[in-house]
Chains A and B, each alone.
Chain A
């Protein structure tokens, strides 16, 4: 097998991994702050893709879709936190999980009613179509763009968490919410924003992946399973873990697809099983 093909496949793995990083980060941020695993994460990824498609077709520009949809769905996420998840704080940790699972049914069926059950093609913006020769091979411009966007988003997120007052509160609040309240920080407002941020990241992933996969109401199911695999491998609540595990899983899926395409999806679960055997808390997770 020639190196060029391997390199190209490696790069598709990175692009796929970049999307996984976004969804897993969203999941992990929400969990780290609120202690809630959002089972509607995959469905919101899917809703994000549809929202991006809708805004793009309204405005005639992919760029509006990319910018507006994550904000829109992020705000919708805040509404979900405020109306549905908030009443469950203080109850069993299973309750928000069950609720968001039920919500995913409603979201998937809602999208079917509005957009129909069949997949819709999500055209790649004309300025990002085609391939570019990087000396070692031809790479699709759109995938390079996706990786670039994810790198910027992750950097912004890191800066936001490390360098701003909001980030300080988020990090401290994740450790000790009661203390934050004692210090006079309105922790519920932080929860609202973090939930919105996590959902926004998922829907950004949805819009970005639109031109790479077909957009259909069921796409969220695989995304949710993938996000779980990545966060379990990386360690739930660990942002660095999500990033590294996301890239590793993306690359492993892509490389397997090259040699044994029928094993591509299966291998990521096998990877997770392996990590569970060796390190049940995940690569970057702390022991409970």
Chain B
């Protein structure tokens, strides 16, 4: 019996670990897309965050400086995306793609300059902090209350973002900009400013996902370490209908099926592994068809906003 409890808590912990980077990136995407700016550059932002935190911790040895650096550089990548999409009104898909491609190229190039030793040594990682008392609860305790600060931050962010988005005037403004920017502008909101801020926040959050990957999960940096997680986060965002809670739940679903398929393989059930590798995506597809119903994006998503007075 204790064996199966250990197995369960191990499985849940694996699910959580696999979901966290997705959840950060998806919440980042949520900010950007709620304000009306498509962000398929999440993958590139995640990768940038992973590289920047790895390089910083490699040089300074301080995890906190690394997280700060990831936040700043992630914000800068967000700023670039915002500048291209909001000010220059470049096609938002193209801008996101450009960010993904340049992030992949630049991080690969720079990582060869930074980590050129032949055997890579593990980077310093972020340690778990157990919350006294709560961490003693069986299964749930070690899962939620014996984690590293980034997981706590994520657990805090979900209710916080939900509250911010749906209960405050700030959230109303953000959503208005994404739904009907002209009305928001009429009400005295600067659409440009809100979009800039949201997309930069988006970069920061996605970058944190990358930092988690490097500082907590893997403790190495490898080229293309993001391995498509940004795109899965994007799918989770759509699947979660641009709502913070359901988006994070969608990320957990992806993480949990991934952990499950690895365990099915480990237990040697005679299923071709190619099917198991597909499993997270298949489940998401079925969930989309069965549960999600009609998924409506913010009305102004992907449409650049042009102030009439500035039109030339």
User: Do A and B originate from a single complex?
Assistant: no
Chain A residues engaging chain B, CB cutoff 8 angstroms:
none
